[in-house]
Amino acid sequence: MLNNPLMPVAEALAQICENLPPLPSEPCNVTEARGRYLAEDVVAGLSHPAAHISAMDGYAIAASSGLDAGTVYSVIGEAAAGAPFAGDLGPAEAIRIFTGAYLCTGADTILIQEEIETRPDGQISITQTARAEQFVRPQGLDFSTGNRLLPAGKCLTARDIALAALAGCSTLMVRKRPHIGILSSGDELVSPGERPQTGQLINSNSLFLHQLVTLSGGIAIDLGIIRDTPGALITAVKAAGPLDLLVTTGGASVGDHDHIVSDIMAADGGQIDFWKIAMRPGKPLIFGKIGNTPLLGLPGNPVSAGVCGLVFLQPALRSMLSASLTLAQPSATLATPLPENDRRQDYLRACFITQDDGSLAVTPASQQDSSMLQTFTHADCLIIRPPHAPAAPDGTIVPILPFPAGI
Amino acid sequence: MLNNPLMPVAEALAQICENLPPLPSEPCNVTEARGRYLAEDVVAGLSHPAAHISAMDGYAIAASSGLDAGTVYSVIGEAAAGAPFAGDLGPAEAIRIFTGAYLCTGADTILIQEEIETRPDGQISITQTARAEQFVRPQGLDFSTGNRLLPAGKCLTARDIALAALAGCSTLMVRKRPHIGILSSGDELVSPGERPQTGQLINSNSLFLHQLVTLSGGIAIDLGIIRDTPGALITAVKAAGPLDLLVTTGGASVGDHDHIVSDIMAADGGQIDFWKIAMRPGKPLIFGKIGNTPLLGLPGNPVSAGVCGLVFLQPALRSMLSASLTLAQPSATLATPLPENDRRQDYLRACFITQDDGSLAVTPASQQDSSMLQTFTHADCLIIRPPHAPAAPDGTIVPILPFPAGI
């Protein structure tokens, strides 16, 4: 299985997602559901408005009793939001009504203060001709019982859960959150907060991937750092609780100090599906399984781990969450030329710049070394250069991978 | 102060932000800092790489010992990531080196496996001419001690905290999170999960605003629902803990059942700065103070509360967080004509549509009633129509307010 030709990104991604089917669903209180993925459509449990309601403070009348200036009404009661008027409206009768109140039986039109005058006997008189059914919000104007409001597969926003709550849906069926273990590998690594000694490096990968998992709808479980020791991965997997996916960084090559591949092959139920991808950064990439735990092995350089997280881990999470929308494939205009590409798909860190004509164009960072985290952090997007792409003069439209919000 | 002319949105917003200055800063562990706002620049506490390191597995040599095919080196030791070689390199000496390992004193070039052959005596011989300093990542390639990595005022992303962690910044100075109380007002309201009786309405506003506050960097404190009773607001404010801002929805007009304005005026230290804004939806809007607690009173209709939350509450939070970046003012092309506007600034719910030529255009929903939450939820953006804007034919470029991620 070693020394296979490089695998295209799309093929690798398809294999990963195929092996990570949607998780089961579970109920979730609507108030807690923002960021969760709907497992079923949300259908309105009631109508909004639930009845014809007044859109203004004023007087509710029947238009059939007259709308012309000079028409006189007797005010027989009052209706406020939450306090409907219980009776019916007879001819030439009105009720004082406030915004949001139900119209009583017989009423179909609201007169506002500017359209009436109050007479000394307490009756009201129309001062300017009114329009039938004015200032009324009809029952179901927003939605009616049984309307499909939100589709399965949607990631719920603040607006979505407000709408679902308003529609009486207090519990939503959502996908279980994938439990993603995150494990970094390397003798040189220390955790953030520790002071690195000579030869040591602070492990930023787990921190980045933790946030990527959380913001993508998963639950990140930090499994710490393992050393470059045969068997360390197997021990760590045994110690971890049940996981939907284990993500490792580092140790993914086949050098004397890289043990991820050999550990997987040595483990009970160990299986490697592939491990060399036609991409840059990120050539050494593992997808496999230890026992029942799928494993995605990312390279250890911070930028390689970050890019592979965006390119493989994020879609893997979307697969497990049965996300309905494929992410858009946006593009941008090159501000500087790019040479022709070799057999690996490039993900170039790039920034947007405003050009002389005011349009937005994209410029790759001049250095793309995969250890340079600062250019990754300051990038606005990644330019995707397919394998063997021809030289691209400035002005070429190129596909880009934007960074998701918060990433 | 009542019956003032309508106040322009920008003027209202400036007054709100002026009264909500940046909160103090506090230290935050870098691992917990995603979504927080930097109160100080982040400056690298160390260099990355900390020394010249190898970018590949191979052999470290001094270029001065020869790079031509046939040059022979004695392998005198080994260096791996986290395990540097302690000695110096003499003439014609090499060390076996692995990716990420420090180069030892004297070494400046890496020979990779493909460029050498190992002789029976264990020495290595160059098989193809190498380049001086190849496959070396020089000290500080990414950043050096003292470099400014992130500016004060930035909202920290996953990439930002990974970079700060890698740079040895284990604690970051960030703005305290604003504590925002959320209070809904209305006799008709019940909370999500309760079954509304005749005349009642489920309160979706608190839910939406809770998420808006959280996603904008604040801490939302749900203070429940108060009834349309004089004094209810004063009682609720007294019962609440210290708040940086109290946000109310509903009761913001001056009808018989609206008590927010009168309660503020009746309260000790009560003060109203304005309460009628030239906008739609959202005309009745209050900014004031009860004692030491600033108060932002939003209208009660779900769409009005939502739009005013985006237009006023979100910038108010950014003011308290001293956010550095003003949000971009994007624009879009109208797919359908719009009539001329009156004296109120409109925020029209609208969806993006792909036109025949492939370009993206924006179409407002046909009905814009402020009770219609579904069109708000399904909108891609709000079209901003300034007061007295002239009629706009299709093809006109119009300013838009996009919905932030997760909102």
Domains belonging to chain A, first-starting first, are 9-23+177-320 (3.40.980.10), 25-41+151-175 (3.90.105.10), 53-137 (2.170.190.11), 331-402 (2.40.340.10)
Residues of B in contact with A371 (CB under 8 A): 48-49, 53, 55, 137, 141-142
Phi, psi of B318 (to 5 degrees): -65, -35
Phi, psi torsion values for B330, nearest 5 degrees: -75, 170
Would the CA dihedral through A61, A66, A68, A70 be positive or negative? negative
Return the amino acid letter for B122.
G
**Under 8 Å between Cβ of B130 and B79:** no
Q: Which chain B residues are within 8 Å of A101, Cβ to Cβ?
A: 199
Is the Cα torsion angle B386, B388, B392, B397 positive or negative in sign?
negative
Tell me how close the Cα of B50 comes to any Cα of chain A, in angstroms.
8
Q: What residue in B sits closest to A405 (Cα-Cα)?
A: B405
To the nearest whole Å, the CA of A38 is away from the closest chain B CA by 14
Number of residues written out for chain A: 407
Residue among A375, A373, A392, A374 nearest A384 (CA): A392
- Distance, in Å, from the CA atom of B38 to the CA atom of B21, rounded to the nearest integer, reads 15
Q: Give how far Cα B276 sits from Cα of B220, B233, B311, B343, Å.
A: 25, 20, 14, 13
* Residue A274 pLDDT: 66
- Please give the single-letter amino acid code of residue B342: D
Q: How far apart are CA B76 and CA B58, in angstroms?
A: 14
- Residue A148 pairs with which residues in a beta bridge? A43
Q: Using CA coordinates, name the residue in chain A closest to B96.
A: A256
Q: Which residues of chain B have pLDDT under 50?
A: 1-2
Alpha helices in A95-253 (DSSP H): 158-166, 205-215, 232-239
Chain B: residue nearest A160 by CA?
B377
Q: Is the dihedral of CA A159, A163, A169, A170 positive or negative?
A: positive
Residues in chain B closer than 8 A to A283 (CB atoms): none
State the residue for tokens 């109380």.
B181
Structure tokens at A310: 């965006």
Dist. CA A52–CA A133, nearest whole Å:
10
Chain A residues touching residue B374 (CB < 8 angstroms): 142-143, 149, 163
Report CA dihedral (B356, B357, B359, B361) to the nearest 10 degrees. Answer: -40
Of A38, A43, A42, give the one whose Cα is nearest residue A323.
A38
C-alpha dist (Å) from residue A95 to A81, A107, A111, A341: 13, 9, 10, 77
**B4-28 as b/e: b if 16+ CB within 10 A:** eebbbbeebbeebeebbebbebeeb
Exposure string over B376-392, b if 16+ CB within 10 A, otherwise e? bbebbbbbbbbbebeeb
User: Can you tell me which residue has the tokens 């990433």?
Assistant: A407
CA distance A373 to chain B (A): 6
CA nearest to B254 within chain A: A57
With CB atoms and an 8 Å threshold, state whether B50 touches A196.
yes
List helix spans (H) across B137-245.
158-166, 205-215, 232-239
Sign of CA dihedral B17, B18, B20, B22: positive
The per-residue pLDDT for A4 is: 57
Q: What is the pTM of this model?
A: 0.94
Contact B189 A82 (CB under 8 A): yes
Quick check: bond before B281 cis, omega within 30?
Answer: yes
Backbone Cα Rg of chain A? 31
> Among partner residues B80, B168, B372, which is closest to A142 by beta-carbon distance?
B372
Does residue A209 contact residue A248 with C-beta atoms inside 8 Å? no
pLDDT in tens, chain A (407 residues): 445 578 999 999 999 999 999 999 999 999 999 999 999 999 999 999 999 999 999 999 999 999 999 999 999 999 998 899 999 999 999 999 998 899 999 999 999 999 999 999 999 999 999 999 999 999 999 999 999 999 999 999 999 999 999 999 999 999 999 999 999 999 999 999 999 999 999 999 999 999 999 999 999 999 999 998 999 999 999 999 999 999 999 987 776 777 888 888 888 888 887 678 999 998 888 999 998 899 999 999 999 999 999 999 999 999 999 998 666 778 899 999 999 999 999 999 999 987 777 777 999 999 999 999 999 999 999 999 999 999 999 999 999 999 999 99
Q: Report the chain A residue with the minimal C-alpha distance to residue B144.
A: A374
Q: Which residue of A has its CA nearest to B301?
A: A100
CA A338 to each of CA A161, A334, A341, A342, A364: distance values in angstroms, whole numbers, following the listed order: 45, 8, 8, 12, 9
SS3 for A72?
Answer: strand
Contact (CB<8Å) A189/B82: yes
Which of A28, A142, A210, A327 is the best residue to mutate to test the B interface, defined by the most B CB atoms within 10 Å of its own CB?
A: A142
Q: Report chain A residues whose CB lies below 8 A from the CB of B256.
A: 57, 80, 98
Query: B148 to chain A nearest CA, in Å?
Result: 11
Phi/psi class of residue A27: alpha, beta or left (left: φ > 0; alpha: ψ in -120 to 50)?
Answer: beta
Contact A163 B204 (CB under 8 A): yes
CB contact under 8 A, B374 and A142: yes
Q: What is the pLDDT of residue A150?
A: 98
